[in-house]
Amino acid sequence: MLARLLTFAVWALLALCSAFWLLKLLPAPLPVPPQALPAADGTGPRADLSRLFGAPQAAPVAEVAAPVDGRYKLVGLVAPKQGGGRHAGEGVAVITVDNAPARTVRVGAAVDGELQLLALDGNSAALGRQGVVSLRLSLAPPVPAATGSLPAAVALPPPQINSNPPPQALPVMPPAQPLPPELPPGQTGQDGNAGNTR
């Protein structure tokens, strides 16, 4: 029984280690940058569902119209380079109405009700009814680029080049040992070897 429990504990430890390293080695999802905005606010269409559940319909309340200038905001535009000529009536503007999600509007198309986009130029759009400009929207000026300053450059002294190469030390050889004197043929030395045997 002890062998079975020990085997189970070893396999459980192996499974936990495998799961740990698998989670460590798999790529982690990238974090969302803090300046990112959601594409949609996530809220569904807002409608009065009381009639669906059988409640009597309430009398409509007259809404107070917001000032025309504050209702519209020009978010972006694409306009031809030259105002006249072949591309006179072309262009697209991105406009928000009453802080709703922005939408694109072509020149000549309706923005809100009878209000139409009449013309575009470099950074503004003209809105009006029946060809008469009643409102001009301008793009917000671009945010200036973040600039900084670099530290002053420090001049380094030029490297000094020595025209004379450094003296090189000659390798030291061990002193030579004297050769043993040659013995005449047929004589043996102290070690018992014969002399020159040629």
Question: How far is it, in rounded angstroms, from Cα 13 to Cα 186?
Answer: 85
Gap between the Cα atoms of 62 and 168, Å rounded: 103
Supply φ then ψ for residue 110, to 5 degrees. -75, 135
Render pLDDT for 149-185 as a digit per residue (tens, 0 to 9). Answer: 878 888 888 777 766 666 676 677 777 777 777 767 7
In percent, how much of the chain has pLDDT > 70? 70
What are the helix and strand counts (H, E) for the chain? 2, 7
Sheet with 92-97, edge to edge strand ranges: 72-78, 92-97, 103-106
Q: Which pLDDT belongs to residue 64? A: 45
pTM of the model: 0.39
What is the C-alpha separation between 75 and 124, in angstroms, rounded? Answer: 10
pLDDT value of residue 78: 86
Q: Is the pLDDT of residue 190 over 80?
A: no
Q: How much is the pLDDT for 57?
A: 65
Residue 162, CB-side half-sphere exposure with 13 Å CA sphere: 4
d(CA 39, CA 25): 31
Task: Output the pLDDT for position 76.
Answer: 87
